[in-house]
Amino acid sequence: MEKIKLGSGKELDLIVCGIIADQQVVTIKFLPREDSLDNLNTLLMNTAETEKMTLLSESGDELAIYNGYTQLQSIGQELDTVIGYEQGGSQAAITGKIVTAVLRKRDVTEMRLASLEETVDTLVMESLGM
């Protein structure tokens, strides 16, 4: 089973075909394990966790790196979803609970606004002699 490794080193177990990404949005489907939806929401809202995410193979090899997806757009749970397939002759589907998280990159306007806010803060602090 592939995993996605977050900034803190925490790994989330992906389902089959559990990550889809384009230039602006990444959708991650993973097993929640012992984490509550609220805890996962808090975790994925932390930009330090999602600034750089690494896709790992079952053996721990790095397969891909996803940079800059820092804005959690949505997160939700699905019950009785196919999470894998049994090995062997039957190839029967294994079902369970999954979490789907959609993250996006900040757009150019948001980045420029953040930069301007930092500049204004610096100028105000300098004018106050701090």
State the chain's mean pLDDT as an integer.
91
Q: What is the pLDDT of residues 117-130, one digit of tens each?
A: 889 888 888 888 87
pLDDT grade, residue 90 (50/70/90)? confident
Q: What is the pLDDT of residues 19-49, one digit of tens each?
A: 999 999 999 999 999 999 999 999 999 999 9
pLDDT at 48: 95
Q: Which residue's structure tokens are 């949505």? A: 74
| Out of 5-9, 78-82, 95-99, least confident range | 78-82
